[in-house]
């Protein structure tokens, strides 16, 4: 299943309290304090100190004895919280988790071949490792199977039975996803829930704790495509990607009464940010090009233009942006598994850059008229897309 979606099909999703809210903390003071992040513990220390100062100002506590008691209490509690801040373990949220089998020489060699866009050599070896029980191979192969933009011409031209044997475990009419045999990996479980339509907002946002930014975006986009509502409930959730805030704003807009908040949010965006267009504003082409140059999204597109159309500059980025179908599909471009391949490494690889062109081919038939439209923006990118089309 391909979870790509354009902004026009995005709607909204469910509800939950943001992390760090009182309802999400155990009430036992000692056990709770041990789980605090340094920033939240510091916030608690400040808030508690302010609350105590407020109580001190009441007439009932202006007596000397009571004041001494509360002063001692304030010093003790603030001191305890400060100690927790200093000694608290560093949060691992947003860090990738190691996948068993990722460091084995055979897997590393096969993954290198795949990143080099050598499917003929890489995929049979990755399939062998997956059948042998290598979880890293199973995870990578499963994501290639579920993401057409990661499938190159050699694989695309194989007979269906051979493709299934390369990308899937045995079972069913055409095999089953290796995600179902991933040894209890949390990343695999989350993807299964999203792809099987069982996921909710917490499922999608849980990817962020694993350092899987693209998966977080893809999960939320999938929920929006399924007409989920409730994105606005996550307006204060730090896990919610800034590049998808328009899903929240659209719910605010439909509900009414949030005009000032929406206007303020849009004012904070870069002039060329595509979220402006989704919300009814029309950035100029130059502003879009500037945004494409500065954004951290779709680094593979930047790397492709820098490597093969360097003379075109930002217009190559704009041509690529149009070719892949705009903002919604751009959000889905990136490393298949950040725990195995960093975003930068994927972007700089032949496979990562070919994936941008493959995404462009998936949008619509590569007709002469479509190529002319892209060439009117940048002839170099249009040539790259035409050449990639010939490979298929």
Mean pLDDT rounded to a whole number for the chain = 82
Query: Under 8 Å CB-to-CB from 92, ≥6 apart: which residues?
Result: 209
Which tokens hold the place of 29? 């003071």
The Cα angle at residue 192 between residues 190 and 193, in degrees rounded to 5: 65
Average pLDDT estimate for 348-361: 97
Half-sphere exposure of 347 (CA within 13 A, CB side): 16
Which tokens hold the place of 191? 């993807």
Query: Under 8 Å CB-to-CB from 390, ≥6 apart: which residues?
Result: none
- Check whether 298 has a pLDDT greater than 90: yes
Average pLDDT estimate for 83-95: 38
- Check whether 300 has a pLDDT greater than 90: yes
Average pLDDT estimate for 291-318: 97
What pLDDT is stored for residue 37 in this prediction? 36
Model confidence pTM above 0.85: no
What pLDDT is stored for residue 342 in this prediction? 97
What pLDDT is stored for residue 94 in this prediction? 52
Specify the DSSP element, H or E, that contains 201: helix 201-209
What pLDDT is stored for residue 97 in this prediction? 74
Q: 298, 295, 317: which is closest to 306 by C-alpha?
A: 317
Number of residues written out for the chain: 392
- Check whether 347 has a pLDDT greater than 60: yes
Task: Give tens-digit pLDDT for 257-295.
Answer: 999 999 999 999 999 999 999 999 988 999 999 999 999
Q: Are 178 and 172 in contact (CB under 8 A)?
A: no
What pLDDT is stored for residue 160 in this prediction? 94
What pLDDT is stored for residue 183 in this prediction? 87
Name the pLDDT band for 66 (thresholds 50, 70, 90).
very low
Of 51-55, 80-84, 189-193, minimum mean pLDDT range: 80-84
Average pLDDT estimate for 196-206: 94
- Check whether 82 has a pLDDT greater than 60: no
Task: Give tens-digit pLDDT for 147-157.
Answer: 999 999 999 99
What pLDDT is stored for residue 173 in this prediction? 85
Name the pLDDT band for 3 (thresholds 50, 70, 90).
very low
DSSP assignment of 3-71: ----GGG-------PPTTSGGGS-S-HHHHHHT--HHHHHHHHHHHHHHHHHHHTSGGG-SHHHHHHHH
Average pLDDT estimate for 197-208: 95
Rounded-to-integer distance, Cα 115 and Cα 348, Å: 9
Comparison of pLDDT for 337 and 283, the residue scoring more: 337
Rounded-to-integer distance, Cα 50 and Cα 46, Å: 6
- Check whether 359 has a pLDDT greater than 50: yes
Q: Are 30 and 246 in contact (CB under 8 A)?
A: no
Average pLDDT estimate for 342-361: 97
Q: What is the 3-state secondary structure (H, E, C) of 119-176?
A: HHHHHHHHHHHHHCCCHHHHHHHHHHHHCHHHCCHHHHCCCHHHHHHHHCECCCCCCE
346 CB-contact burial (10 Å; exposed 0-12 / middle 13-18 / buried 19+): buried
Name the pLDDT band for 95 (thresholds 50, 70, 90).
low
Query: Under 8 Å CB-to-CB from 189, ≥6 apart: which residues?
Result: 182
- Check whether 386 has a pLDDT greater than 90: yes
CA dihedral sign of residues 273, 278, 284, 286: positive
What pLDDT is stored for residue 133 in this prediction? 97
Rounded-to-integer distance, Cα 280 and Cα 274, Å: 10
Q: In the block, which residue shows the tokens 């504003």? A: 281
Q: Are 309 and 378 in contact (CB under 8 A)?
A: yes
Average pLDDT estimate for 295-305: 97
Rounded-to-integer distance, Cα 85 and Cα 46, Å: 12
Comparison of pLDDT for 90 and 132, the residue scoring more: 132
Specify the DSSP element, H or E, that contains 386: helix 379-391
Domain ranges of the chain: 38-87, 271-392
Comparison of pLDDT for 61 and 313, the residue scoring more: 313
């Amino acid at each position: 299943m391909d979870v790509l979606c354009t902004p026009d099909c995005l709607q909204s999703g469910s509800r939950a309290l943001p992390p760090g809210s009182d309802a999400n903390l155990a009430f036992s003071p000692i056990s709770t304090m041990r789980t605090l992040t340094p920033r939240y513990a510091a916030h608690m220390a400040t808030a508690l100190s302010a609350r105590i100062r407020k109580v001190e100002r009441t007439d009932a506590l202006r007596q000397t004895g009571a004041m001494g008691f509360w002063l001692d209490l304030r010093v003790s509690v603030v001191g305890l919280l400060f100690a927790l801040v200093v000694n608290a373990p560093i949060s691992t949220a947003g860090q990738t988790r190691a996948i068993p089998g990722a460091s084995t020489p055979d897997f590393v060699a096969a993954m290198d071949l795949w990143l080099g866009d050598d499917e003929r050599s890489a995929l049979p070896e990755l399939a062998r490792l997956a059948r042998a029980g290598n979880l890293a191979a199973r995870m990578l192969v499963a994501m290639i199977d579920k993401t057409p933009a990661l499938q190159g011409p050699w694989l695309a031209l194989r007979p269906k039975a051979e493709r299934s044997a390369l990308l899937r475990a045995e079972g069913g009419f055409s095999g089953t996803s290796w995600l179902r045999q991933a040894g209890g990996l949390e990343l695999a479980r989350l993807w299964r829930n999203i792809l099987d339509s069982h996921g909710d907002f917490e499922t999608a946002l849980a990817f962020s704790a694993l350092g899987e930014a693209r998966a977080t975006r893809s999960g939320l986009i999938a929920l929006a495509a399924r007409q989920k509502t409730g994105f606005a409930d996550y307006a204060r959730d730090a896990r919610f990607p800034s590049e998808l805030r328009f899903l929240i704003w659209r719910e605010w807009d439909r509900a009414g009464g949030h005009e000032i908040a929406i206007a303020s949010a849009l004012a904070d965006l870069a002039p060329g940010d595509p979220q402006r267009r989704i919300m009814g504003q029309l950035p100029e082409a130059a502003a879009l090009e500037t945004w494409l140059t500065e954004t951290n999204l779709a680094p593979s597109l930047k790397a492709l233009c820098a490597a093969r159309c360097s003379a075109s500059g930002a217009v190559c980025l704009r041509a690529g942006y149009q070719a892949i179908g705009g903002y919604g599909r751009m959000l889905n471009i990136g490393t298949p598994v950040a725990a195995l391949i960093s975003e930068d490494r994927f972007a700089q690889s032949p496979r990562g850059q070919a994936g941008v062109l493959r995404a462009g081919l998936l949008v619509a038939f590569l007709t002469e008229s479509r190529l002319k439209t892209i060439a009117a923006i940048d002839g170099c990118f249009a040539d790259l897309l035409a050449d990639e089309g010939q490979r298929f």
